[in-house]
Amino acid sequence: MPVLRTIRERFAAERPLDGLTIAACLHVTAETANLVRTLIAGGADVALCASNPLSTQDGVAAALVAEHGAEVHARRGEDVDTYVSHIAAIVDRGPQLTMDDGADVISFLHARGGPALDAVIGGTEDTTSGAIRVHALEEEGRLAFPVLALARARVSQLVETRHGTGQSALDGILRATNTLLAGRTLAVYGYGPCGQGIARRAQGLGAAVVVCEVDPVRALEARLDGYTVLPGVEAAARSDVLVTATGASDVVADEHVAVMRDGAILANAGHFDVEISVGALRAAATASRQARPLVEQFDLSGGRRVNLLAEGRVVNLAAAEGHPAPVMDIAFAVEALAIAHLADAATTLEPALHEVPAAISDEVARLALTAVGVEIDHLSDEQRRYLTSWA
Ligand code: ADE
């Protein structure tokens, strides 16, 4: 992770996080470990817990404690009560800054209120799903501190959402099922940057791709990108693989379960396990079994059997290893610079959901290009004048 390494070296010299405690609720992976090391190099005290019970790499959690001085509360497969108790543990450290992947810490702090909430000066949120929750707090007039929406940074949308999710969601599906995508029909529910990435990669592997989308402009974009656009139930009746990437709940529900094909594979690439209604599957099924690790097979009417991956949890992290390191290098470089920006400027920001400053996105893209030896041109003064003149 060369970009993050450059930032770590800078942080070690400049110590932008000196004296600050950060409560971070992130996927506890090897890539996250490099972010935590960077924050510690910058002077922060870091308490980390998991943002998903199935994504924790236990060896990474242990190494962070034993070798890098972080406090970690995470264990792969932890139950819901333990998961919540781990969030409480990092909040009890009295952080000034928070880092979220799904907004669980922000949500916990606001539900509890009191001095712990008052002490926080700012936070970051990695995902679009989490940003929706923060936005809801803001709309109710309850958001108590500024939050930077990292997934909206230009460089993150490109690298993390489109390329990261595009590749790693398919990686999770293929690792769990060992299936062949060529010649099969794959339906993507949602054509945001995640859905676009999944559609592109699935097409590259030879699948016929169907897109389901509620936003008319995005649906038109999918059509112009060459995909078949269909309503969700129709797509469910025609597809061999169904992947949700919307952020909404019950995207695949009773009416989809009623028409799905024998052998269909169901996977969720969205952050929360609400997109596929597992309840609808269980209610319709006459029996179910564990067909392979992370594959639950349900017997449905008409002799159909459908396969649910990773309990409907985010498939790239539950069935594979999430985004690969080169993707997280860029995502976490944005995160490190964003938290340093908050340490410096949070008191000047309104309690609202904010964009990451464009300069951070540009700087990370520049560092990423330098790391792979790519040079680019710069505007001349004359060109800059032309591009900023109304005349
Ligand atoms: N989110 C998606 N992939 C990830 C990874 N490898 N590590 C941490 N967070 C992630």
Is any ligand 1 atom within 6 A of the Cβ of residue 27? yes
Q: What is the mean pLDDT of residues 216-231?
A: 98
Confidence of residue 300 (pLDDT cuts 50, 70, 90): very high
DSSP element (H, E) containing 365: helix 358-371
- Give me ligand 1 centre to Cα 237, in Å: 32
Q: Which two tokens stand for residue 122?
A: 């700012």
**Total count of residues recorded for the chain:** 391
Predicted pLDDT of residue 161: 85
**Each residue's pLDDT tens digit, 258-288:** 999 999 999 999 999 999 999 999 999 999 9
- Cα of 338 to ligand 1 centre, how many Å? 17
**Ligand 1 atom with minimal separation from the 168 CA:** 3
- Percent pLDDT > 70 in the chain is 100
Q: What pTM value is reported for the model? A: 0.89
Task: List, in sequence order, every residue forming a beta bridge with 305; answer none if it has no partner.
Answer: 299
CB environment 214-232: b (16+ within 10 A), e (fewer): eeeebbebbeeeebbbbeb
pLDDT digits (tens, 9 = 90+) for 109-123: 999 999 999 999 999
pLDDT digits (tens, 9 = 90+) for 69-98: 999 999 999 999 999 999 999 999 999 999
- 25 CA to centre of ligand 1 in angstroms: 12
pLDDT bin (cut points 50, 70, 90) of residue 378 is very high
Mean pLDDT for the stretch of residues 49-73: 95
> Which of these ranges, 66-75, 152-161, 214-223, 226-235, has the smallest mean pLDDT?
152-161
Instruction: For helices 30-41 and 58-68, give the axis angle rounded to 10 degrees.
Output: 20
CA 55 to ligand 1 center in whole angstroms? 9
Average pLDDT over residues 41-45: 98
**pLDDT score, position 162:** 84
Q: Closest ligand 1 atom to the C-alpha of 322?
A: 3
| Backbone φ and ψ of 295, nearest 5° | -125, 110
- For ligand 1, pick from 31, 100, 161, 316 the residue to mutate: most ligand atoms within 8 Å of CB: 31
Mean pLDDT confidence for 151-161:
91
pLDDT of res. 180: 97
Candidate from 272, 317, 329 with most ligand 1 atoms within 8 A of CB, to mutate? 317
pLDDT, one tens digit per residue, over 323-340 is 999 999 999 999 999 999
Ligand 1 atom nearest the C-alpha of 160 is: 2
CB proximity list for 358: less than 8 A, separation 6 or greater? 154
Starting at the earlier edge strand, list the strands of the sheet with 208-212.
228-229, 208-212, 185-189, 241-244, 265-268, 304-309, 295-300, 287-292
Tally Cβ neighbours within 10 Å of residue 377. Answer: 6
